[in-house]
Structure 1
């Protein structure tokens, strides 16, 4: 399977092999995770630093086994890259703690953030920027392939947040092993959540006490995430991929019905792919007695774009708010500046997801949606208008998100434009095409109906496991929230044990392939 990207002249990406670090691979499930757990449990009476050292060791092994090109010899340079980045930022953070709120400290912080962004920029954006320059000037004549190191976006953002907090005097004097584990702990290393040092470091000192009580909860959450990925996301992808492929070709245009089915299918694929990964990240961390912050909370139930971003990739939203939107001025400098800050924050959020014009457009759309949403809230309050009926508000929000996802998924502007034109009837109001020209079978779209019902009507994972505090609350979001206990909430009973076994069997029956999580690309 593929895991790294090479930037070409057009800013597109080529992906190569990865299986060991995929949560849904046999190697991870049957080899790596058991070894990590057995070693960690065997060392529970060892000194604290030895226990942390074991977790650092297995996390670096998890990261280091990755080989971007299996046709060539393995190289340690990517392990050295993450170790070098962690070492430099750790000592820089310690120095910033001593210089907090001083002019030399501010200069040092600026230099540290710039160096981190320059490293990320070289690997992630050099090819994209070189392609733009080539198209405008013809120079450079050729652009070398640049391998995007695994997880560089995530560990760079983690460390920028740490430097800023060190300058603000909000960090403690961590031991280097603590810091290294905070950055590299394998359940969150590849695709988040973007954890905060204050959330994680105290937990490692307590994680060995009563871990066996966490095991059934952790296993249930992990299996639920695996089910979402293997049984739902990967099957829905078989509907979305051919339709987006049709839009990228130079043959016929998708019909209106095909285009809507393709867009909805991809929205559901991405939803269950990311929701499944988030559940598995929470579950695998909980196996070691660690609770991560909640990162995903039924975002398609949101009744506004503002609410959507409180529910989707919640830790990234927190990072963009705390380390970009608020430093830009937030809402402190008037409405006009607030809208500019919102738009810029989402534009950069789109660019973070990928070096390509479609990602920039996706970010720009969400920036515009947020501005319109806040303006609507203000007008409603001023005119004393009542809110839209909730089902209508949810539907409008979903359609807006759907339009954005078309750009997020599409190969380029041209294919995104073709699909959107078909969705909104510019290529006619056609229904299902003739049998000879179909790219998916006529029965395939019927699979989307129960999936949509599940998205909008069924409880999510953290609601099912709410009795056992499955995740930490993210500041600014009211989730997870307490409430009345329900009969369907998970408990360590025979009935729920049987349900867990059935979930595992259903997943195992579909476990005939290894597919990458979409967010591994970022």
Structure 2
């Protein structure tokens, strides 16, 4: 079941909300929680029925390990000669082994066969939906229990923590101490008109991002990458149209899902953490990772980078920790060498950025001061470094990567639109052609370019969802920033008829769009 499907919007979600608040109104909070667990498991089973047993087994195992970690008496009662540290290690190892088997077994066997020229046969392993998300979330829970930062007495509550349907499939990755205390507050069991309206608005923005912006960019990106996978030579402009379109598709698809998840949870009175904060406005690659997939970045920082030593053991060790963390982050996204290279590329970006900072400090420059033009230059350089990395992320194989890079660098030549030939004919002497501008693109080139420019203006200039909704606490621990230009301050969301008509129109337009076509999956369902 998809967030952007009619059955979810018009049937599943209203029923889930209505019965939850009816049960809560009667004063039976456990029944209300049990109802949320039931609809969450139904939601998961409806989306991916073959994985439900794995999800429940994972929840049962990790709840048991977590209970043992916080109850030293259990060790004594059963005369188990096992330290808490070893129990934590076993718990994490089991989670990683299960994740590795289902997500990486096929990749491992294929790689071994390619390297050793063998032909080991291995039955194709199905990929359980959301396994990366619920595995990482539960590893974080075990570590937090071990550290004494959280605990859970109730199995029913733990079921809800892992399976709560707004964030189950593709995050955000939440920590137990961030979400579950909210379910202890009595006020969250009373229906709130403000929560409903704010939640519906955030959901509408996310829905619009997915249905209109992301899907329109997919029409441009998919044909280019499909042709690259087939080995078809691509022109300079085709490559960059495809790469930029995918850059925008990925952002609007995933941030749209995150907004929809935050909006749905808000309708139930629950605040989920922010996952995106205008990442393409980042001034450097470190800033980008503070804004992109924030909950995953926080997980990698808190549970991999810092335990490895972080930046406490000198620059060389810091660079090693950065590279290893990003390589693991790349591998988390998918079983393929392109994801490993993508992670390694970002690790190299982070190391280079750190070296650049040290160089500037050695020149006596103040890193906190900069001019407007240098900030925009830094933003553009960071953006195109990220675009380059998305080519590795999206390409189906390394052959497709080489085709994209060759075309993007200009190895297949340059070609400009024919109508420019009269004014720029002298450029023919430089090898520039005026035919075959975008021969493989299946849509009007000017429609493609104008659409990309329009969405770039949105991600670079417009306020994001949280800035629009800043007055209404749109996400957990969100710290509102002042929107600099007075014009944007006037556009901050208010519960009035103007914004009601605007967002009602957005929902209607999205509904009309997906009723005319089959709702598409979210990209991060693959990870």
Alignment TM-score, normalising by the size of structure 1:
0.90
C-alpha distance 437-272 of structure 1, shift in aligned 2 (>3 A):
closer
C-alpha distance 174-211 of structure 1, shift in aligned 2 (>3 A):
farther
1:82 equivalent in structure 2: 55
2:138 equivalent in structure 1: 159
Residues 234 and 440, structure 2, Cα contact 8 Å, conserved in 1: no
1:137-159 per-residue CA deviation (whole Å, 9 max, x = no partner) reads 34453221111111111000011
1:202 equivalent in structure 2: 181
1:476-508 per-residue CA deviation (whole Å, 9 max, x = no partner) reads xxx444678922111111111111122122222
2:469 equivalent in structure 1: 465
User: Equivalents in 1 of 2:27, 2:143: separation in Å?
Assistant: 34
Q: CA offset at residue 57 of structure 1?
A: 0.5
User: Equivalents in 1 of 2:270, 2:240: separation in Å?
Assistant: 41
> Structure 1 residue 359 and structure 2 residue 316: aligned?
no
Q: 2:269 aligns with which of 277, 289, 305?
A: 289
2:252 equivalent in structure 1: 272
Q: 1:491 aligns with which of 494, 503, 509?
A: 494
2:384 equivalent in structure 1: 399
Q: Give the alignment of 1:309-388 within 5 angstroms.
A: 309-385=289-365, 387=370
C-alpha distance 438-294 of structure 1, shift in aligned 2 (>3 A):
closer
User: Equivalents in 1 of 2:89, 2:438: separation in Å?
Assistant: 60
Secondary structure of 1:443's aligned partner: helix
Secondary structure of 1:250's aligned partner: coil
Residues 472 and 480, structure 1, Cα contact 8 Å, conserved in 2: no
Secondary structure of 2:234's aligned partner: coil
Q: Give the alignment of 1:55-454 within 5 angstroms.
A: 55-67=36-48, 78-99=51-72, 104-206=83-185, 207-251=188-232, 253-385=233-365, 387=370, 389-431=374-416, 433=436, 437-445=440-448, 446-454=450-458
Q: CA offset at residue 436 of structure 1?
A: 5.9
Q: CA offset at residue 174 of structure 1?
A: 3.0
Q: CA offset at residue 210 of structure 1?
A: 4.8
C-alpha distance 434-448 of structure 1, shift in aligned 2 (>3 A):
closer
Q: CA offset at residue 172 of structure 1?
A: 2.7
C-alpha distance 328-239 of structure 1, shift in aligned 2 (>3 A):
same
Q: CA offset at residue 417 of structure 1?
A: 1.5
Q: 1:506 aligns with which of 504, 509, 521?
A: 509
> Could you say which structure has the higher helix fraction?
2
Residues 29 and 189, structure 2, Cα contact 8 Å, conserved in 1: no
Secondary structure of 1:510's aligned partner: helix
User: Equivalents in 1 of 2:443, 2:380: separation in Å?
Assistant: 26
Residues 102 and 125, structure 2, Cα contact 8 Å, conserved in 1: yes
1:70 equivalent in structure 2: none
User: Equivalents in 2 of 1:140, 1:93: separation in Å?
Assistant: 41
User: Equivalents in 2 of 1:166, 1:437: separation in Å?
Assistant: 55
C-alpha distance 346-434 of structure 1, shift in aligned 2 (>3 A):
closer
Higher Rg: 2
User: Equivalents in 2 of 1:521, 1:368: separation in Å?
Assistant: 25
2:7 equivalent in structure 1: 27
User: Equivalents in 2 of 1:481, 1:172: separation in Å?
Assistant: 33
Residues 229 and 396, structure 2, Cα contact 8 Å, conserved in 1: yes
2:425 equivalent in structure 1: none
Q: CA offset at residue 123 of structure 1?
A: 0.1
1:38 equivalent in structure 2: 18
2:430 equivalent in structure 1: none
1:82-107 per-residue CA deviation (whole Å, 9 max, x = no partner) reads 1111111112112112359x970111
User: Equivalents in 1 of 2:152, 2:33: separation in Å?
Assistant: 16
Residues 220 and 242, structure 2, Cα contact 8 Å, conserved in 1: yes
User: Equivalents in 2 of 1:509, 1:64: separation in Å?
Assistant: 27
User: Equivalents in 2 of 1:91, 1:211: separation in Å?
Assistant: 35
1:8 equivalent in structure 2: none
C-alpha distance 436-170 of structure 1, shift in aligned 2 (>3 A):
closer
2:35 equivalent in structure 1: 54
Q: CA offset at residue 435 of structure 1?
A: 7.3
The answer for unaligned runs of 5 or more in structure 2 is 74-80, 418-435
User: Equivalents in 1 of 2:439, 2:361: separation in Å?
Assistant: 54
Q: 1:518 aligns with which of 506, 518, 523?
A: 523
Residues 244 and 262, structure 1, Cα contact 8 Å, conserved in 2: yes
Secondary structure of 2:83's aligned partner: helix
Residues 326 and 344, structure 2, Cα contact 8 Å, conserved in 1: yes
2:426 equivalent in structure 1: none
Residues 310 and 317, structure 1, Cα contact 8 Å, conserved in 2: yes
Secondary structure of 2:277's aligned partner: coil
Residues 238 and 438, structure 2, Cα contact 8 Å, conserved in 1: no
Residues 99 and 167, structure 1, Cα contact 8 Å, conserved in 2: no
Residues 69 and 146, structure 2, Cα contact 8 Å, conserved in 1: yes
